[in-house]
Amino acid sequence: MDAYDTGSEARHGPDGPRASEAPADPAPPRPRPSSADPAPARPQPSLDQPSTADPAATGPQPSPAGSAAPRPQPSPADLAPPRPQPSPAVTAAPRPQPSYGPYEQPSYGPYDSPSGPVGADPRSGVAALSLRYQIGAALALAVVAVTVCVHLGVTFLHVAPANAVTKQHGRAIDDWIYPEFEQNWKLFAPNPLQQNIAVQVRAQVLTGDGTLRTTGWYDLSAEDGRAIDGNLLPSHTQQNELRRAWDFFTATHGPDNRPVGLRGALSETYLRRIVLMRLDRDGAAGPGGSVERVQVRSVSTNVRPPDWSQEQVSDKPTHRELPWWPVTSADHGGGAR
């Protein structure tokens, strides 16, 4: 127990009064503020609402040097917690719009599709047509499909080996194929054509004074070759008309130059009209003359094999001369067209 404790009943010295006789304890001295003591933290005002306390009511602030002035006491206004202020009405911020790059496509959910709700896509193509036009389009498509199938089937029968179908319906197959869809497989044959064939013609001409004369041989294939050489866009007649006419004739005639079947006479008439047209172009009859008869021949020359090949072929040309054909007015009319 402290000897200087005022609450004790011990006597303070020999003559000191007793505790019951001692006067009332004075107020304890207020400690002086020291610079070492930390100052009590002041309550910070609310950021939402400024403090309404009067700055003058708080009194002077303590000096950092530690003067003898009494330490100010905080006012009740400073100790009271700040009253919460009603927050302003929250406004919805605008929804940011997405930005897409030059190669990006927006993705839509099931409820924000640009074309409306899911399952309500607009019609396109044939589905957008009325029922009548849909039926017409379906019929047209069916007709095209059937025609293509028939054409492929007839072409197959034409190039296939002889069989029961081609023997029974050969006429109908030829009528469908010739002349627009004729097939030529010589390029893919095991032994393709290795000859140069030139078609030549000569004529018996009745001159203006009533005499007959025979012209020399006109090389019609050479004329076509000169017209094609150096021409970037040669015509179909210059390339194929005479050659196809001669192939047509040889395919429908035997070695004795007699026609085989009904197409033989047709091929003969076709070739005769072509050569008459060429003779008229070259002026073979002369002024005042007319062509009375024509004769056609072919000159075939084998193509020389390459140097590395051991194949031996003859380089002498072979001729195939046809009989003289009389010329009628119908032949001249067909050639003029």
Q: What is the pLDDT of residues 194-219, one digit of tens each?
A: 889 999 999 999 998 889 999 999 99
Provide the pLDDT for residue 183.
76
Rounded percentage of the chain residues whose pLDDT exceeds 70: 60
The stretch 73-100 carries a mean pLDDT of 62
Q: Give the model's confidence band at 283: pLDDT under 50 very low, under 70 low, under 90 confident, else very high.
A: very high
Q: Is pLDDT of 191 > 70?
A: no
Reported as a pLDDT band with limits 50, 70 and 90, residue 10 is: very low
Report whether pLDDT(14) > 60: no
Buried residues in 299-335 as b, exposed as e (16+ CB within 10 A): beeeeeeeeeeeeeeeeeeeeeebeebebeeebeebb
Which of 185-189, 222-226, 322-326 is predicted least confidently? 185-189
> CB atoms < 10 A from the CB of 224, how many?
22
pLDDT in the model for residue 296? 97
Mean pLDDT of 89-95: 59
pLDDT tops 60 at residue 270: yes
**pTM for the full model?**
0.47
Mean pLDDT across 49-74: 52
pLDDT at residue 337 in the model: 40
Q: Which residue has the tokens 């003559």?
A: 15
Strands 325-326 and 218-219 turn out to be unpaired
Q: pLDDT tens-digit profile of 136-171?
A: 999 999 999 999 999 999 999 988 888 888 888 988
DSSP string covering 165-234, please? Answer: HHHHHHHHHHHHHTTTT----GGGSSS---EEEEEEEEEEEE-TTS-EEE---EEHHHHHHHHHTT-SS-
Please tell me the predicted confidence (pLDDT) of residue 159: 84
Tell me what pLDDT residue 262 has: 83
Residue 19 is predicted with a pLDDT of 46
pLDDT at 287 over 50: yes
Mean pLDDT across the chain, nearest whole number? 76
Rounded Cα distance, 190 and 192, in Å? 6
pLDDT band at 292 (very low <50, low <70, confident <90, very high): very high
Q: Is the peptide bond before 45 cis (omega within 30 degrees of 0)?
A: no
Please give the pLDDT value at position 26. 52
22-47 residue pLDDT tens: 445 555 556 565 555 555 556 555 54
Whether pLDDT at 306 is above 50: yes
| pLDDT over threshold 80, residue 281 | yes
228-257 confidence digits (pLDDT tens): 999 999 888 888 999 999 999 999 999 999
